[in-house]
Amino acid sequence: MSRLAVPNLEADTGLSGQVHAQIKKAVGKVPNAFAAIAAHGPAALKSILVADAVLAAGSLTKRDQEVIKLVISAAAGCDYCVAAHNHLAQLAGVNPDVLKQIREGHPTGDSKRDALVRFVRKLAQSSGTVSDEDFAAIKAAGYSDAQLVDISLAFATIAFTNVFNRINDTEIDFPAVA
């Protein structure tokens, strides 16, 4: 059970209720993490949703965005975000076997995706510090300067939800990951 109580926001006409209603309208339900954030920090959730909209319009594919978020969540040990982004990556077309390889730190056979996974894992393990060799490797894999900005933004948004879900011990409402 999650640590923070989440009131029923269906009838709330304030910012919390408005953000809750927007999410429900967009995706049909409000994930537990977003419900808790909306209840206690609606402006914070709104900023994450805006950042995700920027990512959606950015230079990375939806698959790449979800792979980034999955890798960072696995490194952070956020079971909630691992389940969420594993599911969302599948919806974006990433094969479940490939996702298992990514979570376990094994190559997938796709050199560009593997370069992204290595780079993002390095970011997560080094608090964002990368060597000249790491930078050269991600550039050699074909990632542009604009994509490096978007990788950084994806990192920032998922770091927030990873930390929040670890604080809240948010109850997982996505398919479990074995």
- The 10s digit of each residue's pLDDT in 7-57 is 887 777 888 778 778 888 877 788 999 999 998 999 999 999 999 999 999
Query: Checking phi first, is residue 128 left (phi over 0); if not, alpha (psi -120 to 50) or beta?
Result: left
Q: Are 26 and 98 contained in the same domain? A: no
Q: Mind giving me the DSSP string for 55-68?
A: HHTSSS-HHHHHHH
Q: Are 124 and 51 contained in the same domain? A: no
Q: Are 22 and 105 contained in the same domain? A: no
CA distance 83 to 73: 9
The encoded tokens of residue 64 equal 């790449």
Q: Indicate the number of domains in the chain.
A: 2
Q: Are 153 and 139 contained in the same domain? A: yes
Residue entry with tokens 């990433």: 94
Q: Are 120 and 158 contained in the same domain? A: yes
Q: Are 39 and 96 contained in the same domain? A: no
Amino acid at 176: A
Q: What is the pLDDT of residues 85-125, one digit of tens each?
A: 999 999 999 999 999 999 999 999 999 999 999 999 999 99
Domain, as residue range, for 34: 15-56
